[in-house]
Structure 1
Amino acid sequence: MTRFDIEAFIDRTRIGSTQGVALLVCILICFIDGFDIFMIGKIAPAIAQDFGTTAKAMTPVFVYQQIGLAVGAFTMSPLADRFGRRFMLIFSCLVFGTITLVSAHAASLQQLAIMRGVAGVFMAAGLPMAMALISELTPIRRRSMLVAVALAGFSTGSAASGIVAAWLLDAYGWQSGFWIGGGVPLLCVPLLVLFVPESLKFRAERNPSDVGIARTVRRLDPAATLNGDELFVLGTGDTKGRKAKLTDIFSEGRLAMTTLIWAACTLSMTNTALLSAWLPSFFQEMAGIPIQQFAVTAMIGYLGGVGGTLVIGWMMDRMRPALLLSGFYVVLAACLNMLAWVPFHSAGFLPLVIAWSFFQTGGQAGLNTLITQVYPPRMRSTALGWAGGAGRIGGVVAPIAGGFALAQHFSLQLTLALAAALPLGVALLMFLLAAVRADRRDGTAQPVTA
């Protein structure tokens, strides 16, 4: 039988309409991930007021949401390495969108918290699955950049959530955020069903004799030469199917690398969860800034995250990724600390918010992109999802810590100084990762430089 190298085929294929629609869907999924995570924090005081309680009472909503996201990251992501990225994305978007729309009619904060937790289970792996899918459909020469473009949807979603707090809140209530949060993933379902194929690399690793792969190959390149007796492989890979195992991300010398990446994601996503949940409340309670005013500034500032995501995607194709990320997180820590000291109404505050968002969102996007580079396709969704799951565990603690800071009447300066320790920890871990990868290169050839 004829060996057909899927890796080489994807790398020489021009980016066409199929990859374009897949990229659009991935952008929308990343959009809703960013929108959903930041939206609740920006409108938390309004939700609490509507239910006749204080902002601190929103803590269970944040905690349940993070628990759901952690559970989903550990359970749904491996399923994408078993049943396919496309199938699991369709299922996840359908369930998450439906539950989110229903959440707009919650009768109590307890009901809302439970529904946020359940919805989180189904959307937690949305971004990892989208990253795996787009990275496996695009040529290597454009891969990091297209992954960055998709991840820019996360920053766009973050900025869009500010629209709810700034302009829709007074006219349509906090429910408007849930209408957007539920409608966008439901829009992704028909796009996935009709226009987006399953990852060829995933299918080839599972079953090199899959006759359906030939149809997708011709869809991506009608001029492709096929004889009908192909075995579809990745590079010089095995012609026997190889199913993913949960232990793959720790095997073949990956233990140290995976441990460092998990720790970095935990600290990074803990920082993101803390600030997405409580930053508007911190400024309102500790500095007297109304959430509507802060929302407008944050909405503009989060556009810096789009720039950070695109810039780091471009830079990661040209520099050692782990060292680059280490630098990003050092600057992020400095920006976060300075937010408490620069007056809100001064000319320097908005540029500082843009810079903070640039390095925070760009740094997390860089971590996700790094994972798509250093793990092979058969375990890529699991690697992305479980790294995110480790981060979500830290996210469970973050809302509690934010509520504690408010209850203890911490100053804004003390609160943000403590938060800045998290990105400094990520910077150290990325520096160690660069050293670990350098040691591995001394002994064995590595396809990717960290």
Structure 2
Amino acid sequence: MVQNPREEMNNKTMNGFQWFVIGICILLNVIDGFDVLVMAFTAASVSAEWGLTGAELGALLSAGLFGMGAGSLFLAPWADKIGRRPLILLCLLISGVSMVAASFAQTAMQLGMMRFVTGLGIGGILASSNVIASEYASLRWRSLAVSLQCTGYAIGATVGGIIAIALISNFGWRAVFLTGGLATLFMLVVSYFTLPESLDYLLVKQPKNALERINVLAKKINITPLQQLPTVTMTSEQAKSGLARLFSPKLALQTICIWFSFFFVMFGFYFVMSWTPKILSANGMTTEQSVTAGVLISAGGMFGAALLGLISSRIRIYYVQAAFLALTAILIWLFVNSTGSLMIAFILALFLGMMSNGCVAGLYAMSPAIYDADVRATGVGYAIGFGRVGGILSPLVAGAFLDSGISSLVLYGYYALAFVAAIIMVLSISKLKNKETAQLHFQQPTSA
């Protein structure tokens, strides 16, 4: 029998090295969370300094998301070609340098350009680190591992909000961008010395010295070393280019559903994360109170992503994800009606953060399981990239509605519907996976 390291890794108990790799991925997401939402926390200060309209501020908020979409679409697929590790290192350099440059911006146009470049790097990091976390986890704990990786985003956003409050008060908004850039460059150094390449990538792509590198990892993971590299056979379907492969007969419907799942969730999520402090401030809260509410939403995300992962180790993730989506829609409606009571608003902000961040974590946990290793980063990258289209449109649509005089109650109601639409997509993926599993079980006896 040909040895299968991936199968052995799937069924073994996870050891300290595997959790260490997932820990590095969490730290990468901490940096990303800080870098992404720094614009939301500095929005009021930037807007006041340059006298921006709602539409102009919305464009600034969307610039980073636009870059993230481009990074997910055009940079992340290279992780399937050159490796997960090299791409992450390159993207950390891009993000760190552009964040530092953003702190010296003198116009909204300059800041927007730097936000786009930062987004490019973050888009590549998010997809690749998500895939590494999935590939280093055993089958039982995969959803938890990816969900924990997603908590890093909420941790970064929470720490970013706390740091932003202190830095803006003492040094101005530029100091927040400078701090984020230096932290990103520091993480580049940490990753260079500690982040390993994906075992799945080495097995499938077999780059130079692949056998030696695999066996070094095998010793650390505590699985059986290989005597020789496995033979890689390529079917006609696998010979297709990355994007064409995603729309092969086997994957097309699942690809469409996961894309639109990301789109709807990102459309609602980035409205909640990007516009909540600004809207609360416009509805009577002080700048500090509104930013605090935003921080609480991010803080709730730290628990929500982990909670989803824990539940998913016992209940099928598609059903857990659907429940989180439904609760998020309900909490959005409750939150916007609670602004008259500061304490209730803060409590609901915490729970809204738990559920909405849990929804994002669920998508990151679901998406790698759809694709094989040779196209996994491409599949996840394109799904995230399509989701970024929703994230890009979200602040722009919100800014236009607010400028037209629409009430925040009605606006939040519209955005709650996005999470309801995502439920349909997630349950459709579940149905397709059930059908795929049934076909495999049917075919196995005939091939014996």
TM-score, length of structure 2 as denominator length: 0.90
Cα distance in 1 for partners of 2:392, 2:244 equals 25
Which residue is equivalent to 1:256?
253
Which residue is equivalent to 1:324?
320
SS of 2:140's partner is: helix
56-65 or 170-179, which deviates more? 56-65
**Structure 2 matches for 1:18-417, cutoff 5 A?**
18-54=17-53, 56-207=55-206, 211-221=209-219, 226=225, 229-232=227-230, 238=233, 245-285=242-282, 287-417=283-413
User: What is the CA-CA distance between 1:323 and the residue it aligns to?
Assistant: 2.1
404-413 or 76-85, which deviates more? 404-413
Structure 2 segments unaligned to the other structure (5+ residues):
443-448
Cα distance in 1 for partners of 2:58, 2:349 equals 25
User: What is the CA-CA distance between 1:239 and the residue it aligns to?
Assistant: 8.8
**For the structure 1 residues 406 and 339, does the alpha-carbon distance in structure 2 shift closer, same or farther, using more than 3 Å as the test?**
same
Deviations 1:306-348 (A, max 9, x none): 1111111122222222222111111100100111111353432
Instruction: Check whether the contact 2:9–2:223 (CA below 8 A) recurs between aligned residues.
Output: no
141-150 or 433-442, which deviates more? 433-442
**For the structure 1 residues 298 and 332, does the alpha-carbon distance in structure 2 shift closer, same or farther, using more than 3 Å as the test?**
same
Cα distance in 2 for partners of 1:440, 1:16 equals 31
Deviations 1:361-388 (A, max 9, x none): 0011001101122222111111111111
Instruction: Check whether the contact 1:48–1:58 (CA below 8 A) recurs between aligned residues.
Output: yes
User: What is the CA-CA distance between 1:226 and the residue it aligns to?
Assistant: 4.6
TM-score, length of structure 1 as denominator length: 0.90
Give the letter aligned to residue 135 of structure 1: S
SS of 1:319's partner is: coil
Instruction: Check whether the contact 1:44–1:55 (CA below 8 A) recurs between aligned residues.
Output: no
Instruction: Check whether the contact 2:273–2:297 (CA below 8 A) recurs between aligned residues.
Output: no
Give the letter aligned to residue 356 of structure 2: Q
Give the letter aligned to residue 383 of structure 1: G
Instruction: Check whether the contact 2:325–2:423 (CA below 8 A) recurs between aligned residues.
Output: yes
Instruction: Check whether the contact 1:203–1:210 (CA below 8 A) recurs between aligned residues.
Output: no
Cα distance in 1 for partners of 2:216, 2:416 equals 50
133-142 or 168-177, which deviates more? 133-142
Cα distance in 1 for partners of 2:224, 2:142 equals 24
User: What is the CA-CA distance between 1:216 and the residue it aligns to?
Assistant: 4.0
Q: How many residues align?
A: 439
Cα distance in 2 for partners of 1:212, 1:259 equals 34
> What is the percent sequence identity of the aligned residues?
21
SS of 1:141's partner is: coil
User: What is the CA-CA distance between 1:173 and the residue it aligns to?
Assistant: 1.0
Give the letter aligned to residue 430 of structure 2: A
Instruction: Check whether the contact 1:15–1:138 (CA below 8 A) recurs between aligned residues.
Output: yes
Give the letter aligned to residue 265 of structure 1: F
SS of 1:140's partner is: coil
Cα distance in 2 for partners of 1:259, 1:54 equals 36
Cα distance in 2 for partners of 1:150, 1:224 equals 23
Give the letter aligned to residue 246 of structure 2: I
Instruction: Check whether the contact 1:13–1:221 (CA below 8 A) recurs between aligned residues.
Output: no
Deviations 1:242-287 (A, max 9, x none): 77733222225111111011011001111122222222111122x1
Cα distance in 1 for partners of 2:211, 2:340 equals 56
Cα distance in 2 for partners of 1:182, 1:220 equals 35
324-333 or 181-190, which deviates more? 181-190
